[in-house]
Amino acid sequence: MSGSKSKRPAGEPDPSGPALWDLPDDAKAARVASLAEVRDNIDRIDRAVIALLSERLGYTRAAARFKANPQEVAAPARVEEVIAKVRALAAEHGLPPEIAEAAYRPLVAAYIADQQRLFERIGGRRGS
């Protein structure tokens, strides 16, 4: 490696190098100048997503208070309603619906598992 380039692990792209090809659309992301800028924006989005997932957790935990038994926690019809909704939202925002579904199915499953643990821990103390 020349002295002007920093060492990076094999197989890793140069975060300060130029784009090697153009995106086919006029997306905001197409206008970034470097991989480092792309990664900074992804990190910014991840911070926002995590904050929203934390907020969502509060509401999914609140939902457990309205369920009579552990069997109601899974609510399979509601799961499919959520998946259909996020697929439609994805399409509206230019995200392939299959990506939204692939992200949401395990997400919803994790929230259901959290609700079930919560229900098992404190659900039996209802009305006390």
Nearest-angstrom CA–CA distance, 26 and 108: 32
Is position 71 within any domain? yes
CATH of the domain at 45: 1.20.59.10
The pLDDT of residue 50 is: 98
Is position 84 within any domain? yes
Q: Is the dihedral of CA 128, 56, 99, 85 positive or negative?
A: positive
Is position 110 within any domain? yes
Is position 106 within any domain? yes
Distance separating the N- and C-terminal Cα atoms of the chain: 69
Range of the domain at 36: 31-123
Which pTM does this prediction carry? Answer: 0.77
The pLDDT of residue 128 is: 45
Is position 108 within any domain? yes
The pLDDT of residue 104 is: 98
- pLDDT (tens digit per residue) in 78-103: 999 999 999 999 999 999 999 999 99
- pLDDT (tens digit per residue) in 41-78: 999 999 999 999 999 999 999 998 898 888 889 999 99
Is position 52 within any domain? yes
The pLDDT of residue 10 is: 84
Higher confidence at residue 102 or residue 3?
102
Average pLDDT, the chain: 86
Instruction: Specify the number of domains making up the chain.
Output: 1
Task: Label residue 127 by pLDDT band (50, 70, 90).
Answer: low
The pLDDT of residue 2 is: 46
Is position 3 within any domain? no
Is position 1 within any domain? no
